[in-house]
Amino acid sequence: GQNIDQPTEMTATEGAIVQINCTYQTSGFNGLFWYQQHAGEAPTFLSYNVLDGLEEKGRFSSFLSRSKGYSYLLLKELQMKDSASYLCAVRDSNYQLIWGAGTKLIIKP
Partner 1 sequence: GAVVSQHPSRVICKSGTSVKIECRSLDFQATTMFWYRQFPKKSLMLMATSNEGSKATYEQGVEKDKFLINHASLTLSTLTVTSAHPEDSSFYICSANPVGRDHSPLHFGNGTRLTVT
Residues that bind partner 1 (CB under 8 A): 30-31, 33, 35, 40-45, 48, 50, 87, 91, 95-97, 99-102, 104
Residue closer to partner 1 (CB basis): 20 or 102: 102
Look up residue 12 and give its amino acid. A
- In eight-state DSSP terms, residue 30 is S
- Rounded CA separation 100/80 (Å): 23
Residue closer to partner 1 (CB basis): 3 or 19: 3
CB of 21 to partner 1, least distance (A): 16
Residue of 75, 69, 73 lying closest to 87 (CA atoms): 73
CB of 50 to partner 1, least distance (A): 8
Taking a C-beta distance cutoff of 8 angstroms, is the pair 24, 90 a contact? yes
Residue closer to partner 1 (CB basis): 72 or 91: 91
